[in-house]
Amino acid sequence: MIQHKKQNTVENLKERLAGAKAIILVDYKGINVEQVNKLRNLFREAQVDYLVQKNTLIKIALNELGINDLDVYLQGPTAVAISKNDEVAPAKVLVKFVKDVMEEADFPKFKGGLISGKVMNQSELQEIAQLPSREELLARLMGSMKAPLSNFVNVSQGIIRKFVYAVDALAKQKAS
C-alpha cells in the first residue's frame, strides 16, 4: 500500500516535471504557513507549479526523466518550482517574494535549478532573476529597431521642411 502510494507520487511528479523549461529547487526553511500561502499564490499567478515533496521522491522522478545533475541539491527541506512556459518566472517570483514579503530576509533561498537544460547554482539563479522580463526585452528590441527609422523620418522631414521654406522665401521675394 505504502509502496503503491509512493509510486503514484513519483508518477505525478514526473508528469509535473516533464517538459519543464525551468525547475528550481528552493530551501523554504524559515517561512510560516501564511507566507507559504502568499508564495504559492504568487507562483500560481505566474503559472508556476510549486510543491513540497520528499527529496528521495523528487530525486527518483528527476532521475527517471534523465535529470541527474540536481541530485546534489536535494538535501534538507526542498520545494520545487516548475515552469513550463517561462524560464525565468520561478526565479523572479522567489526574488520578488523575498524582497516584498520577507523584507529582504535570507530565506527562502535558491538551492539550484535547471533552466533550459542548463544546471544553475544559487548565484546564477539570482542573476537570472535580475534580468528584465521577456516582454521588457522585446520592447527594448523594438525600440532599438524603431530608432533608426524614426531618425531617418525626422531627418527627411527636416530636409523637406527646409526646401519648402526656401521655395516659400523665393516666392515671397519674387512677389515683392
The set of residues, in sequence order, having a beta carbon less than 8 Å from that of 169 and lying 6+ positions away, is none
Q: How confident is the model at residue 148 (pLDDT cuts 50, 70, 90)?
A: confident
Q: pLDDT tier at 59 (50, 70, 90 boundaries)? A: very high
H helix intervals, the chain: 2-17, 33-45, 55-64, 89-100, 122-130, 134-175
What's the first-to-final CA gap in the chain, in angstroms?
107
Other C-beta atoms lying within 10 Å of the C-beta of residue 160? 10
Looking at the predicted structure, is the pLDDT value of residue 112 above 90?
Answer: yes
Residue type, 101: V
Confidence at residue 164, expressed as pLDDT on a 0 to 100 scale: 84
Distance CA 82, CA 69 (A): 16
Mean pLDDT of the chain: 90
- pLDDT > 80? residue 149: no
Position 23 pLDDT exceeds 80: yes
Is the pLDDT assigned to residue 154 strictly greater than 90?
no
C-alpha distances (whole Å) from 65 to each of 44, 69, 70 are: 24, 11, 12
Determine the Cα–Cα distance for residues 80 and 159; give it in Å rounded to an integer. Answer: 60
Mean pLDDT value across residues 47-67: 95
The CA distance from 13 to 8, in Å, is: 9
